[in-house]
Amino acid sequence: MEITHYVGIKFSNSGKAYFFGTDIKDLQIGQKVVAESVRGLQLGEVATPVFDISTYKSSLELKPMVRAATEDDLLLHETNQKRGKQALKDALVEIEKLGLEMNPIDAEFALDGSKVTITYVAEERVDFRELLKVLASKFRCRIELRQVGPRDKAKMVGGIGLCGLPLCCKRFSTDVESVSINRAKNQMLSLNIPKLSGHCGKLICCLLYEDDAYTDLKKDFPPLGTLYEREDGKIWKVSSYNVFSKHVKLTCESDYEFVPLQETLKLKKVNRNK
């Protein structure tokens, strides 16, 4: 096959589109296709328009999109999904027999049945050599055991988030990014880790989405701890603020007051070193 074009393809186990080379230029978004991925032959779905190969700038080699999916491919994929569910159950039974500290969450067969990829979560490194022997005799195909982290597990399994909507990582997020506690501090949230944690046990990805907005809005505000002298002669300290209502919380001993930002900036600033 002479690759003349390339196209983005999504697979059922990932929300991310990967580019594949093709000689078919009239593929439609949503169309089912068969592609050669790292997991073997897989049924995927066209996720982008078709681009001319002359516009491809990446240094990564394009694997071929094998063909547009046929009715036989669709039926075979459906059969493999059922096989995968049974393989997951079988793997769990054998894992429990061997007493291995690992939790299998998915089993996926290549379209031609030549390989099964079993995804699992584990706290530590697992010696699964004996497990591979047992499963090889049971499945009679190549077996790949793939370890993923808790964020990847949440992305694969899905669920309902704190907002009441399906998890972002399952719906649309393509890259699993690490979230620092500094994001919560920047947004002046109470550092209650359980309340800020998602299904994966890690800090919620939501903290990423509004962080830039908070950083931009806070530019108009005085730093926390800034001291101001008011008309009463007392020294008041900036202890908090609301970037959306544009109010600053000023405290003086046991007293506190919420003051509009513009009024706060008109107050006399006190030098800490005096």
pTM as predicted: 0.68
- What's the pLDDT at 16? 75
In this prediction, residue 150 carries a pLDDT of 79
Domains detected in the chain: 5-69 (no CATH), 74-148 (3.30.300), 163-213 (no CATH), 221-270 (2.30.30)
DSSP alpha helices (H): ranges in 41-180?
71-98, 129-139, 150-157, 168-171
For the chain, helix, strand, coil in percent to 5 are 30, 30, 40
Handedness of CA 37, 41, 47, 48 (dihedral sign): positive
pLDDT band at 61 (very low <50, low <70, confident <90, very high): confident
> pLDDT per residue over 129-167, tens digit each?
999 999 999 998 999 999 988 777 777 777 888 888 888
Q: Is the pLDDT higher at 46 or at 178?
A: 46
pLDDT number for residue 157: 77
More confident residue, 165 or 226: 226
Q: Could you tell me if 154 and 167 are in contact, meaning their C-beta atoms sit under 8 angstroms apart?
A: yes
Percent of the residues in the chain that have a pLDDT greater than 90, as a whole number: 53
Provide the pLDDT confidence category of residue 178 given band limits of 50, 70 and 90. confident
pLDDT digits (tens, 9 = 90+) for 7-55: 999 887 666 788 999 999 899 999 999 998 888 899 999 999 999 999 9
Residue 273: pLDDT above 80? Answer: no
Average pLDDT of span 248-259: 91
Q: What value, to the nearest 5°, has the Cα angle with vertex 147 and ends 192 and 175?
A: 60
Q: Which two tokens stand for residue 240?
A: 């908090």
* pLDDT value for 152: 78
Query: Across the chain, what does the average pLDDT equal?
Result: 89
In tens, the pLDDT along 82-94 reads 999 999 999 999 9
